[in-house]
């Protein structure tokens, strides 16, 4: 079966690009004898790691009038006929109103329904209109969690049989990234013990909770001094609210926290994995997630996790420690208790079990993908 996939968003949306990388990667490794992948792209700057997972790259000419034709499917129908495509996977690019092939469309999350305040008028209704069109026109909908499936039914009254759930997984080898604290010390001056927060500065990622926590206990220097450092990475930008992302960046650079906070900026992905593998715990205080990439990375590496108690995290990481992202006291209780008990915890990781668990998740992910694209069933 030949599948054509559109490129996800732009290079600044790391979560979207990671999704496409893992989607194509699991097909290449586990479904290579069942599915053939074609990438439809209008950019020469696509990630080479992603392109290597595809059997064929279909480059669209960079002409503005083609965008108009794409809306009405003229150009798309021509392309899919030339390449004998069976099924189209629609991510963020639109395949048009009159496409003649079966289409599976991906809906990453329903954040705009829960937090409309994080979207301006244009972005909100652009997203909403896109969802409405895709849901009404497409054959099947692919989401990454049961939580997202419930939201799709709740907000858009979609027939549950039309929605397919495929929680993506990430296949990392822990032995490649563990025991690299000397490397991190030398390159980034990272201490022996640290918490890791690898999120872009979107407002809903809730970085501010950590600074509110530090402010709350700052006067109690006995406790404050016991805290490990909080290491941040990621793009320092929320394009929907640049004032907020600039505010967070100012906090990170404040001398008040210079012994407890370190912002490394955008770093190589291999170093992201290394920081994740060697931290005492990954922290994600987010108000909303579609399916957290950083959590999947932590699961694949056997890293302990301290997460907000949103429904998605409860579904995705049942063995994590949880806190209420709206209450700094809840976060404080979990962090301080973790620090006090960590010396009693066994940091030993059963690598064989971690790899076995990752392999199982990848197989489940591959089976879910195939089920969504197999229109014979």
Closest CA to 184 of 264, 123, 101, 274: 274
CATH (residue range 2-169+360-373): 3.40.50.2000
Q: What is the mean pLDDT of the chain?
A: 89
Measure Cα distances from 273 to 20, 104, 229, 321, 359 in Å: 18, 31, 18, 20, 18
Question: Among candidates 249, 264, 253, 239, which has minimal Cα distance to 207?
Answer: 249
Q: Other CB atoms closer than 10 Å to residue 104's CB: what's the count?
A: 21
Assigned CATH class of 179-348? alpha beta
- The span from the CA of 331 to the CA of 209, in Å, is 8
pTM of the model: 0.90
- Rounded to an integer, the average pLDDT of 293-314 is 96
- The larger pLDDT score, comparing residue 336 to residue 346, is at 336
Q: Which residue has the tokens 């490649």?
A: 176
Phi, psi of 261 (to 5 degrees): -130, 135
* Model pLDDT for residues 132-141, shown as the tens digit of each residue: 999 998 889 9
For residue 282, the SS3 value is strand
Q: Where are the domains of the chain?
A: 2-169+360-373, 179-348
SS3 state of residue 188: helix
Residue bearing tokens 């083609």: 66
CA dist 190 and 365 (Å) reads 35
CB proximity list for 202: less than 8 A, separation 6 or greater:
118, 238, 240, 245
Q: Which residues pair with 58 in a beta bridge?
A: 40
pLDDT of residue 183 exceeding 50: yes
pLDDT confidence of residue 65: 45
Average pLDDT over residues 138-154: 95
Span of 83-97, 155-169, 172-186, 343-357 with lowest mean pLDDT: 343-357
The residue among 253 and 270 whose pLDDT is bigger is 270
Copy the structure tokens of residue 288.
């909303």
Q: 80 vs 52, 75, 96, 231, CA distance in Å?
A: 21, 9, 13, 46
Output the pLDDT for position 48: 64
Bigger pLDDT: 49 vs 210: 210
220: CB partners within 8 A, 6+ apart:
none
- The mean per-residue pLDDT over the stretch 251-278 comes to 93
The more confidently predicted of residues 217 and 100 is 217
pLDDT at 72 (0 to 100): 59
Instruction: Find the mean pLDDT for residues 134-159.
Output: 95
Cα–Cα distance measured from residue 310 to residue 344, given in angstroms and rounded to the nearest whole number: 28
Which of 255, 347, 235, 333 lies closest to 302, judged by CA?
347
Q: Please compute the mean of the pLDDT values over residues 103-121 and round it to a whole number.
A: 94
Q: Is the pLDDT of residue 47 over 70?
A: no
Same CATH fold assignment for domains 2-169+360-373 and 179-348: yes
């Amino acid at each position: 079966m030949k599948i054509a996939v559109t490129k996800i968003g732009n290079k600044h949306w790391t979560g979207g690009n990671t999704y496409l990388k893992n989607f194509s990667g699991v097909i290449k490794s586990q479904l290579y004898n069942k599915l053939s992948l074609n990438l439809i792209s209008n950019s020469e700057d696509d990630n080479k790691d992603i392109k290597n997972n595809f059997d064929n790259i279909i480059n669209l000419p960079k002409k503005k009038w083609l965008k108009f034709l794409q809306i009405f499917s003229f150009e798309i129908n021509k392309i899919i006929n030339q390449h004998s495509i069976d099924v189209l996977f629609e991510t963020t690019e639109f395949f048009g109103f009159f496409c003649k092939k079966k289409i599976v469309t991906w809906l990453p999350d329903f954040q705009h329904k829960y937090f409309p305040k994080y979207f301006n008028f244009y972005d909100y209704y652009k997203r909403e209109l896109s969802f409405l069109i895709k849901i009404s026109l497409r054959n099947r909908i692919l989401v990454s969690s049961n939580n997202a499936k419930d939201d799709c039914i709740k907000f858009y009254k979609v027939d549950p049989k039309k929605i397919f759930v495929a929680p993506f997984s990430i296949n990392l080898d822990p032995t490649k990234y563990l025991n690299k604290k000397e490397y991190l010390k030398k390159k980034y001056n990272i201490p022996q013990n640290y918490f890791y927060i690898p999120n872009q500065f979107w407002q809903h990622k809730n970085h501010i909770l950590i600074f509110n926590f530090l402010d709350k206990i700052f006067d109690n220097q006995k406790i404050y001094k016991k805290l490990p450092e909080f290491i941040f990475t990621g793009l320092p930008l929320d394009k929907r609210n640049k004032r907020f992302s600039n505010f967070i960046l100012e906090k990170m650079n404040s001398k008040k926290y210079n012994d407890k906070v370190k912002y490394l900026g955008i770093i190589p992905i291999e170093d992201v994995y290394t920081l994740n593998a060697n931290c005492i715990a990954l922290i994600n205080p987010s108000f909303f997630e579609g399916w957290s990439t950083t959590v999947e990375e932590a699961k694949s590496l056997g890293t302990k996790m301290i997460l907000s108690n949103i429904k998605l995290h409860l579904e995705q990481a049942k063995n994590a420690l949880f806190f209420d992202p709206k209450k700094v006291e809840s976060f404080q209780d979990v962090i301080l208790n973790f620090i006090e008990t960590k010396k009693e915890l066994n940091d030993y990781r059963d690598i064989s079990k971690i790899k076995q668990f990752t392999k199982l998740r990848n197989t489940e992910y591959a089976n879910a993908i195939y089920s969504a694209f197999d229109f014979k069933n």
